[in-house]
Amino acid sequence: MSAAQATLNHTLPVDYLLHLADNALVLGQRNAEWSGHGPILEEDIALSNNSLDLVGQARLLYQEAAAQIGNGATEDTLAFFRDVPDFKNYTLLELPHHAPLAGTSASDRDFATTLVRNFLYSALMVLVWDKLQHASHEQLAAIAAKSLKEVRYHLRHSRDWLLRMGDGTAESHGRAQAAVNHLMPYTQEFWTRTEYESEASKATGLDIASLQNDWNQIVDQALLEATLKRPAAGGFVPTGKHSIHSEHLGFMLAEMQSLPRAHPNATW
C-alpha cells in the first residue's frame, strides 16, 4: 500500500462521526428523561447509567469531529449549537417515550417503549461497534472498542426486559407488543445508505446493510422468547440520518440546548 493510500484510508467524513455522535447523544438525552422518574429505583439508576454511557460515547465522537472541523468547534458547540437540520441521528431515537396511542407526550411515559427502543438500537450497535473497532481510523477504532463493552451491557438489560414484559402479564405483554409495532417500522432506516456512510465505509470496512441478517437474528430470537410478534415490514422509511426529522427532535433539542444557549460558556 502506498503512503497516499494509507492516508486516504484514515480519512473519515465528519458527517459520519456526527451521525454516530448524534445517535448516542439523542438517545442518551431520551434515557436521561427517566432520571428521577423510573418506575422503580433500580430502573431509574439503570436508565441514568445507560444515558451516562451514551453521552460519554457522544462526547468522544464529538471531540473527534471537532478536531476535524477545527475553526473553534468543540464537543459543546456541536452538541448545543446545532439545530434540527444539522442532526443526523436515526428518527427512531428522537421519538418521545409515549406509547403510540397516548394523547400527549406528557400524558404517558411508557417504559415498554423506552426499553424496546433501547433493545432495537443496542442490537444494532453491538454489531456496528464490533466492526468499527477494526476500522483503520485509529481514534474511531478506540472509541468503538470502548463503546462495544457498554452497549453489550445495554443490550443485556433491554433484552431481559423485553422477555420479562413480553412473557409477563397480559398488560405488560400488550404494552410490549404495542411498542414493538410502533417502533419496528422506524428501524427500516438503519439499512438505507447515505453518502457519508458509503464514503466512510472505505475507512471502516463497514457496510451497514450487511449487518441486517445478524440484526434480524438477534431481534427475532428475542421476540420469539418474549412471545411477541414482529410486525410486517414496509411503509414509510424515516430519514433522520439524512437530517430530515420528525416533529419531536426540535422540542427535545429546545430543552437540551436551552441552558448553554441562554448562558454561553457558563461553567460550574
Partner 1 sequence: MTLAATASASGAPQHSALEHVWQLLESLTDPEIPVVTLRELGILRDVRTAVAQDGTEQLEVVITPTYSGCPAMGQIEDDVHTLLQAHGLKGKVKTQLAPAWTTDWITPEAKEKLRAYGIAPPHSGADHDCQTESGKANGSGASSIIQFAARSASNPGRHEQLAVPCPQCNSNNTTETSHFGSTACKALYRCLDCMEPFDYFKPY
Helix residue ranges, H only, 95-246: 111-132, 138-166, 170-183, 195-204, 212-225
Nearest to partner 1 of 16, 161 (CB atom):
161
Does 155 bind partner 1 (CB under 8 A)? Our answer is yes
**Interacting residue with partner 1 among 95, 143, 180, 253 (CB under 8 A):** 143
Does 215 bind partner 1 (CB under 8 A)? Our answer is yes
Ramachandran quadrant class, 236 (left: phi over 0; alpha: psi -120 to 50; beta: rest): beta
Look up residue 230 and give its three cell numbers.
Answer: 414482529
CA distance 86 to 122: 24
CA distance 85 to 69: 18
Nearest to partner 1 of 17, 218 (CB atom):
218
Does 92 bind partner 1 (CB under 8 A)? Our answer is no
Q: Percentages helix, strand, coil for the chain, rounded to the nearest 5? A: 70, 0, 30
Does 138 bind partner 1 (CB under 8 A)? Our answer is yes
Does 46 bind partner 1 (CB under 8 A)? Our answer is yes
Angstrom CA distances, 233 to 18, 101, 182, 184, 243, stand at 28, 20, 12, 8, 23
Angstrom CA distances, 6 to 47, 106, 136, 141, 217, stand at 41, 51, 9, 16, 35
Nearest to partner 1 of 11, 48 (CB atom):
48
Contact segment (CB under 8 A) with partner 1 among 9-17, 71-79, 164-172, 213-221 equals: 213-221
Contact segment (CB under 8 A) with partner 1 among 13-21, 55-63, 80-88, 171-179 equals: 55-63
Nearest to partner 1 of 10, 149 (CB atom):
149
CA distance 115 to 164: 11
Nearest to partner 1 of 12, 84 (CB atom):
12
Residues that bind partner 1 (CB under 8 A): 42-43, 45-46, 48-50, 52-57, 59-60, 123, 126-127, 130-131, 133-134, 138-139, 141-143, 145-150, 152-153, 155-157, 159-160, 211, 213-215, 217-218, 221-222
